[in-house]
C-alpha cells in the first residue's frame, strides 16, 4: 500500500514540475533562449518562438487583457505591443509555423491578406490559416502589393477563453484549434 502511495506522490510531483516548467517557459521573457526566433518586424512585440532543427517554429502569441468584459462576462484581450508591461503580456495561443511563401494582396484594418501561390503549399495536416512574412517592412502598410514574401504559415491553438479584439472586431476564442482570429490566406483571387 505504501509503495502505491509513493508512486502516486512521485507522479504528482513530476506533473507539478512539468506544469510549473511550462508556465515558466510561456512567460514573456523578451525573446530569451530558447524562444529567441525573430520574424524581424512588428509581430515580434507579441510572439516568442523557437526555431526547430527542421526549420519549423514553435512558441506563443501573446495578449494583454484590456480590463473590459463582454456581455457574457468574458475578458477582452488584444495583442501585446512594445508598451505592454512584461507582467501583463500573457500567452493567448501556442503557435506552430512552417516556412513558405505567399503573395501580398492588400491590407485594411485587419491582418494583411496573402495569396497562396499553390494550395498544395499550405502545410498539411493541420490548420495553417495565417501567413506572416519575414523581415522588412516592419508593418503591413509597407508591404508591396503583388510581391512574394518568404515567411511562415502559422497554426494557432488557443490556450484559454477570451474575446480577441482585432481590426475593429470582437472575436470569441475558446481553448483549442483557432481558425478564425488570424485567418488571412486565399487560395485564389480575382480582385483588381
Are 48 and 97 in the same domain?
Answer: yes
Domain residues for the domain of 58 are: 31-186
Are 144 and 81 in the same domain?
Answer: yes
Label residue 30 by pLDDT band (50, 70, 90): very high
Flag whether 96 is in a domain.
Answer: yes
pLDDT at 13: 40
Are 16 and 50 in the same domain?
Answer: no
Label residue 168 by pLDDT band (50, 70, 90): confident
Are 36 and 9 in the same domain?
Answer: no
Are 20 and 112 in the same domain?
Answer: no
Flag whether 177 is in a domain.
Answer: yes
Are 12 and 47 in the same domain?
Answer: no
With 0-12 / 13-18 / 19 or more C-beta atoms within 10 angstroms meaning exposed / middle / buried, residue 42 is middle
pLDDT digits (tens, 9 = 90+) for 125-158: 999 999 999 999 999 999 999 999 999 999 999 9
Are 16 and 102 in the same domain?
Answer: no
How many independent structural domains does the chain possess? 2
- 15 has pLDDT over 90: no
Q: Are 106 and 191 in contact (CB under 8 A)?
A: yes
pTM of the model: 0.85
Are 24 and 86 in the same domain?
Answer: no
Label residue 42 by pLDDT band (50, 70, 90): very high
pLDDT at 16: 37
Q: What share of the chain is helix, strand, coil (3-state, %, to 5)?
A: 20, 40, 40
Label residue 181 by pLDDT band (50, 70, 90): very high
Are 50 and 139 in the same domain?
Answer: yes
Are 161 and 77 in the same domain?
Answer: yes
Flag whether 192 is in a domain.
Answer: no
Are 170 and 159 in the same domain?
Answer: yes
- Residue found by looking up cell 495565417 in the block: 130
Q: Residue 61's closest CA among 169, 139, 141, 152?
A: 152
- Please tell me what DSSP assigns to residue 37: B
pLDDT digits (tens, 9 = 90+) for 115-130: 998 999 999 999 999 9
Are 49 and 123 in the same domain?
Answer: yes
Amino acid at each position: 500500500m505504501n509503495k502505491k502511495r509513493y508512486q502516486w506522490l512521485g507522479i504528482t510531483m513530476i506533473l507539478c514540475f512539468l506544469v510549473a516548467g511550462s508556465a515558466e517557459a510561456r512567460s514573456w521573457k523578451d525573446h530569451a533562449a530558447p524562444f529567441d526566433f525573430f520574424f524581424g518586424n512588428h509581430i515580434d512585440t507579441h510572439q516568442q518562438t523557437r526555431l526547430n532543427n527542421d526549420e519549423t517554429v514553435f512558441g506563443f502569441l501573446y495578449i494583454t487583457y484590456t480590463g473590459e468584459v463582454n456581455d457574457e462576462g468574458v475578458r477582452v484581450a488584444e495583442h501585446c505591443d512594445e508598451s505592454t508591461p512584461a507582467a501583463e503580456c500573457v500567452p493567448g495561443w501556442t503557435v506552430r509555423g512552417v516556412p513558405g511563401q505567399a503573395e501580398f494582396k492588400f491590407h485594411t484594418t485587419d491582418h494583411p491578406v496573402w495569396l497562396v501561390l499553390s494550395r498544395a503549399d499550405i502545410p498539411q495536416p493541420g490548420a495553417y490559416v495565417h501567413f506572416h512574412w519575414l523581415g522588412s517592412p516592419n508593418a503591413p502598410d509597407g508591404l508591396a502589393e503583388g510581391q512574394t514574401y518568404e515567411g511562415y504559415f502559422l497554426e494557432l491553438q488557443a490556450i484559454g477563453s477570451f474575446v480577441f479584439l482585432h481590426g475593429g472586431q470582437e472575436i470569441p476564442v475558446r481553448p483549442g484549434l483557432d481558425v478564425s482570429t488570424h485567418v488571412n490566406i486565399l487560395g485564389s483571387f480575382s480582385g483588381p
